[in-house]
């Protein structure tokens, strides 16, 4: 049997990156698609009857993902798991990448014990982000741990740190934290390549030329970003709240992904 045909159940776990924010299904502004849904669609083309669950919830930390999502993933005994966690931890003061790696490693061990094929994600290089230099060192340390865990546990690695095609601002939503629909599309293609899923398009396709924004337009965009996204984020941190509070996963039960022709 073809290796892809052996993938009968796919489970995605993680935070907002995997939940797929800012990539709504056509005509459904409150229902997000994201790279994991798109990856499931690519998989379904080669594995008819594929069942897909997405347990990711925005705002979650590594420990929360491991406590809330990993047991459910283990229970489902999927053939494929994508596991991306740690971004929300890294942007918080006092995050300890060494301690987080221990928690992550134990979760991977439990997932692999079910016979699941596990795909691990490193984080993006924060060099281009505002205040990114402040967390770049610990993010790099955490990424080194993730690669070592993947080697030790026999996992594939999606190396986001080295992706330069995502340096283009059009890969990102206006909140400057989550991928845009085009970013999600390219990410799904990239992950498909890592796990050996044939796809028609190329995530490395050059971006069309981008007209540089003038100084005044850039400052207006900065002001909008600060009011719409930065200040609410600071408010949540100050009060101990999370964007994921009270939310459950969008696809808690494995079902067949939507057909690509109905979700372009």
| Local confidence pLDDT in tens for the 264 residues of the chain | 477 778 999 999 999 999 999 999 988 877 899 999 999 999 999 999 999 999 999 999 999 999 999 999 999 999 999 999 999 999 888 899 999 999 999 999 999 999 999 999 999 988 765 545 678 899 999 999 999 999 999 999 999 999 999 989 999 999 888 999 999 999 999 999 999 999 999 999 999 998 887 888 888 888 887 888 778 778 887 788 888 788 899 999 999 997 655 555
Report the domain count for the chain.
1
- Assigned domain for 225 exists: no
- Assigned domain for 100 exists: yes
- Assigned domain for 234 exists: no
Q: Report the CATH number that the domain containing residue 28 is assigned in CATH.
A: 3.40.50.1110
Question: Which residues span the domain enclosing 74?
Answer: 4-209+249-262
- Assigned domain for 230 exists: no
- Assigned domain for 194 exists: yes
- Assigned domain for 202 exists: yes
pLDDT value of position 94: 87
- Residue spans of beta strands (DSSP E) within 22-116: 24-25, 28-32, 51-54, 80-83
Collapsing DSSP states into helix, strand and coil, what is residue 32? strand
- Assigned domain for 39 exists: yes
By DSSP bridging, strand 80-83 and strand 9-13 are: parallel
- Assigned domain for 87 exists: yes
- Residue spans of beta strands (DSSP E) within 22-127: 24-25, 28-32, 51-54, 80-83, 117-121
């Amino acid at each position: 049997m073809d290796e892809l045909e052996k993938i009968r159940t796919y489970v995605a776990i993680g935070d907002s990156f995997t939940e797929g924010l800012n990539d709504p299904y056509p005509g459904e502004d409150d229902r997000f698609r994201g790279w994991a849904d798109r990856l499931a669609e690519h998989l379904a083309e080669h594995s008819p009857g594929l069942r897909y669950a997405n347990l990711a919830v925005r705002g979650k930390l590594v420990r929360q993902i491991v406590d809330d999502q990993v047991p459910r993933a283990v229970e489902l005994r999927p053939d494929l798991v994508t596991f991306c966690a740690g971004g929300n931890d890294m942007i918080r003061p006092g995050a300890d990448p060494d301690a987080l790696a221990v928690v992550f490693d134990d979760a991977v061990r439990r997932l692999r014990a079910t016979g699941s094929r596990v795909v691990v994600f490193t984080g993006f290089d924060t060099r281009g982000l505002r205040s990114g230099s402040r967390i770049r060192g610990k993010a790099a340390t955490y990424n080194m741990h993730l690669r070592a865990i993947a080697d030790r546990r026999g996992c594939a690695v999606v190396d986001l740190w080295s992706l330069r095609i995502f340096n283009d601002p059009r890969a990102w939503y206006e909140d400057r934290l989550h991928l845009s629909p085009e970013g999600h599309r390219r990410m799904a293609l990239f992950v498909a390549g890592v796990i050996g899923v044939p796809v028609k398009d190329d995530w490395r396709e050059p971006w069309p030329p981008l007209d540089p924004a003038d100084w005044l337009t850039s400052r207006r965009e900065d002001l909008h970003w600060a009011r719409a996204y930065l200040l609410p984020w600071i408010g949540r941190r100050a009060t101990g709240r999370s964007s994921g509070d009270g939310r459950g996963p969008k696809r808690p039960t494995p079902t067949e992904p939507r057909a690509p022709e109905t979700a372009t």
